[in-house]
Amino acid sequence: MILLVTGGAGFIGSNFIHYWLKNHADDRIVNLDTLTYAGHLESLKDISDNPNYQFIKGDITNPEDVKRAMDGVDIIVHFAAESHVDRSIVDPLTFVRTNVLGTALLLNTALDLGVKRFHHVSTDEVYGELGPDDPPFTEETLYAPRTPYAASKAGSDHLVRAYFETYGLPITISNCANNYGFFHDPEKLIPRFITNLLEGKKVPLMGKGENIREWLHVEDHASAIDFVLQKGEIGETYLIEGEEKTNMEITKMLLEILGLDESMIEFVGHRLGHDFRYAINGEKLRSLGWERKHSLAEDLSKVVLWYKTNEWWWKPLKEGRPNIDRNAQKSYKQSL
């Protein structure tokens, strides 16, 4: 079987490729990635000369790149996206282009070429935010995205469903919680906090750290997608749950692992449109027999150790990268 993985040089895509080649050694993987600031071929160094792995540098918004990469492919697992909420606040149009237009072009080409399955990877952020006592999201929750990132992912989800309803393209969708694991870009919360602490710097915690997220180990995410590809029903959406924690709880876990105290926390302002809480009811997928194998209690320290021993991977990514000015869009609006 031949799989096309889009965005395979990113955090989840690269972990998914490692997972797939380990668990389905006879399959072939084509990785289509344009290598934005978030694409790191170093994450795939170990398998770069595996004869069952092929990298194509190309853009999902470019028809020729997409056609070339999709030729002869059985299954598409679509990760490629602009994925950082802070960046979407500063530069929303890039998110619309990649996440909406790029997904539309992939769907159209998949239909033309008769691809057997199009699996779309999405986020719980499409459902908006929850209050402290609201029930968790289910597959029936209405979409209510509140950031340009979440809105662009919601747009892509709607297109994927529309290609199933209108044209019968065999699709499945998964929406999941925040991921953690190895090869996670240091601009995201957990790796940013770990690498800051390893460098002796404070960690910037928004508000009082009261915002709540669910955390899913990236290998559990990969195994859930594998499960959906095998047992999921065409046209269906599956939510993949993680473990619910406040950002303060995550910060304290990291401080404890590293033997540091709360003086290493620097409280900073909330981002624009900062969602208070996401939570997922993953019963639909669990009832089919999928379960998580990892836990923060056991795996967060392994992730910290990975960053300790793999400075070669993350140090060059932090050096020379400007901080994102989350107020840029706000000051632009104020100047109108």
Residues that bind ligand NAD (CB under 6 A): 6-7, 9-13, 33-36, 38-39, 59-61, 79-83, 98, 102, 121, 123, 153, 176, 178-179, 185
Q: Which DSSP letter does residue 260 get?
A: -
In the complex with ligand NAD, which residue's Cβ is closer, 70 or 264?
70
In the complex with ligand NAD, which residue's Cβ is closer, 264 or 278?
278
CA 41 centroid distance within chain:
17
Residues near 231 by Cβ (< 8 Å), separated by ≥ 6?
288, 289, 290
As measured in angstroms, the least distance from the Cβ of 14 to ligand NAD is 8
In the complex with ligand NAD, which residue's Cβ is closer, 141 or 264?
141
As measured in angstroms, the least distance from the Cβ of 261 to ligand NAD is 28
User: Tokens 């929406």 — which residue?
Assistant: 175
Tell me the two tokens of residue 137.
Answer: 């999201």
Q: How far apart are CA 130 and CA 149, in angstroms?
A: 17
Strands 243-246, 212-217: pairing is antiparallel
φ, ψ of residue 120 to 5 degrees: the values are: -105, 130
DSSP per position, 177-223 = -EEE-SS--TTSHHHHHHHHHHTT--EEEETTS--EEEEEEHHHHHH
As measured in angstroms, the least distance from the Cβ of 101 to ligand NAD is 9
In the complex with ligand NAD, which residue's Cβ is closer, 12 or 264?
12
DSSP per position, 229-254 = HHHPPTT-EEEE--EEEEHHHHHHHH
In the complex with ligand NAD, which residue's Cβ is closer, 221 or 326?
221
Residues with catalytic function: 124-125, 149
As measured in angstroms, the least distance from the Cβ of 137 to ligand NAD is 12
As measured in angstroms, the least distance from the Cβ of 175 to ligand NAD is 7
